[in-house]
Copies of this chain bind each other. A is one copy, B any other.
Amino acid sequence: MNVPTHDTTGPTTGPRLVAERHPGGVDAAVAAARRLVTALLRTGDGTGADMDGIAARLDALADELTEKAPTVPERLAEMWRGEGVTRHDPVTGPENALAPPLALHGAEDRSVSGTVTLDLPYQGPPGHVHGGVSALLLDHTLGVDNHWAGPSGMTAELTLRYLRPTPLFEPLTVTGRQDSVDGSRIRTSGEISAGGKVCVTAEGLFINKRLPRPS
């Protein structure tokens, strides 16, 4: 178990297993970027919003950041320093505006769970979550559960079953549990449910190996 815990007082029972959002700095900018991504989709063209002016202001912000950015190898080494939780992944990371983000908590039975409500950026069918987004949330949740429950590794195989459409704009519960460990082969499963009904299930086979961290 190489995932440090951050608090024991989250809304879900058990320790929080993913990075905590800091009150300022890049986490605040990313939280605002998330609002912006959703607002762009919620607004669209033909509403009187000055999209060309907004594009120019966003490009200026991106330019301003790029001037301060280290090289990619330097940044990779920096983001993978230490052995703790990642702050930059596209599911839970407070530094990644793609992440909803999903907060996951560990339970005593070695399962993990979290709650998230998704907006228009995550849409597939009308008013519902994209099937590939459900796969992304579940792949990550199974990986976090492996860290919590015992040996962990990289995804070798993942099977998703879509039982009913997963709604946007409603709280979703995402869970994961490690089912078995046989040598280097780890089997972990999980699901996404809404209103007490299971929408998507996942079964994963993980192999206990890891890519080297950049230095």
Question: Which A residues form the contact surface with B (CB < 8 A)?
Answer: 24-26, 28-33, 35-45, 47-52, 54-59, 61-62, 64-66, 68-70, 72, 75-76, 78-80, 88-91, 95-98, 120-128, 130-133, 135-140, 143, 154-162, 165, 169, 210-214
Give every chain B residue within 8 A of A97 (Cβ-Cβ).
36-37, 40, 97, 121
A36-B65, A211-B126 given; A43·B26 CB < 8 A: yes
Say how far A190's CB is from chain B's closest CB, in angstroms.
Answer: 12
**A72-B169 in contact (CB<8A):** yes
A25-B45, A29-B58, A69-B43 given; A136·B125 CB < 8 A: no
> A28 contacts which of B51, B79, B156 (Cβ < 8 Å)?
B51
Copies in the complex: 2
Q: Which 7 A-B pairs have the closest CB atoms?
A: A132-B136, A132-B139, A32-B58, A135-B135, A39-B65, A28-B55, A35-B62
With contacts A126-B213, A132-B139 known, what are 14 further pairs, Cβ within 8 A? A26-B44, A26-B45, A26-B49, A28-B55, A29-B51, A29-B58, A41-B88, A91-B130, A125-B210, A126-B212, A130-B136, A130-B139, A135-B160, A159-B159
A29-B55, A42-B65, A51-B24 given; A158·B131 CB < 8 A: yes
A96 to B45, CA, bound (A): 13
Say how far A116's CB is from chain B's closest CB, in angstroms.
Answer: 14
**A98-B121 in contact (CB<8A):** yes
Q: Which of chain B's residues has its CB closest to A140's CB?
A: B132
